Amino acid sequence: MAPNPLQGASFVLAAHRIDQLPADSGGEVAFAGRSNAGKSSALNKLTGHHGLARTSKTPGRTQQMVAFALPPLAQGEGMPPLDVRLIDLPGYGYAKVPEPLREHWKREIDAYLHQRRSLRGVVLIVDIRHPLKEFDRMMLAFCQDTALPCHVLLTKADKLSRNQSAQALAAMRKQFAAEGLLATAQVFSSAEGTGVDEAREAVVALLRRERGV
């Protein structure tokens, strides 16, 4: 079994505003997704730390930007290791959040995506059983407009047959091509471990990438 390049993740802080996040240096990848798409489970599975991100039967528990430190990432010969992080963005789409808080997070996420120089890419969590929602499309459009790579995890693939999952992935990639989106996508299941190694490699590739490259 291949070693987990995301092993050793640890909680750093939870921020209500972007100016409370760790220093804007090194590299980080943001995880975004609707509140019931399985984002916390995906983070836990990818890092191999099953208590890292809270999972709950009540969607929308992540109501702050949560920073997780990763062990420094080795770079090329003669280069120092890169300080890297994962940022868990607030789950979007939960109904019980007051409108002022929802608007606050809309502004903060927008500011984060525009201003954060250490941000290398976005992992967008999408339930494979459902078409893209408004939030998903908004994230994809933003990444396209700012030349920020977006890797989509089509989660909960264990709820479908392998053939259905393959059809859903093909349809998503066809949609990306038709709309001129540069995003990548894969099938993923936290429950069964489907696509975990592929997703880890995608996250590490994003962390290694220079902003604007």
**Residues contacting residue 202 through CB under 8 Å, at least 6 positions apart:** 123, 151, 184, 186
What is the Cα–Cα distance from 187 to 155, expressed in whole angstroms? 7
Q: What is the pLDDT of residues 8-62, one digit of tens each?
A: 999 999 999 999 999 999 999 999 998 788 999 999 999 999 888 876 555 555 5
Task: Give the distance from CA 212 to its chain's centroid.
Answer: 18
- Paired tokens of 3: 């070693």
Which structural domain, as residue segments, surrounds residue 132? Answer: 10-208
Residue 146 lies in a domain: yes
pLDDT of residue 153: 98
pLDDT of residue 94: 56
What is the Cα–Cα distance from 124 to 177, expressed in whole angstroms? 17
Residue 70 lies in a domain: yes
Q: Give the domain CATH number at 157.
A: 3.40.50.300
pLDDT of residue 96: 66
Residue 74 has pLDDT above 60, yes or no: yes
- For residues 153-180, average pLDDT: 96
Please, which pLDDT band fits residue 212 given cuts at 50, 70 and 90?
A: low
Q: What is the pLDDT of residues 91-134, one digit of tens each?
A: 776 556 788 888 888 888 889 998 999 999 999 999 999 999 88
**88 touches 211 (CB < 8 A):** no
47 or 90: whose pLDDT is higher? Answer: 47
SS3 of residue 21 by DSSP: coil
pLDDT of residue 62: 58
pLDDT of residue 203: 98
pLDDT of residue 171: 96
Number of structural domains found in the chain: 1
135 or 86: whose pLDDT is higher? Answer: 86
165 or 106: whose pLDDT is higher? Answer: 165
Residue 3 lies in a domain: no
Residue 1 lies in a domain: no
- For residues 168-176, average pLDDT: 96
pLDDT of residue 48: 94
Residue 185 has pLDDT above 70, yes or no: yes
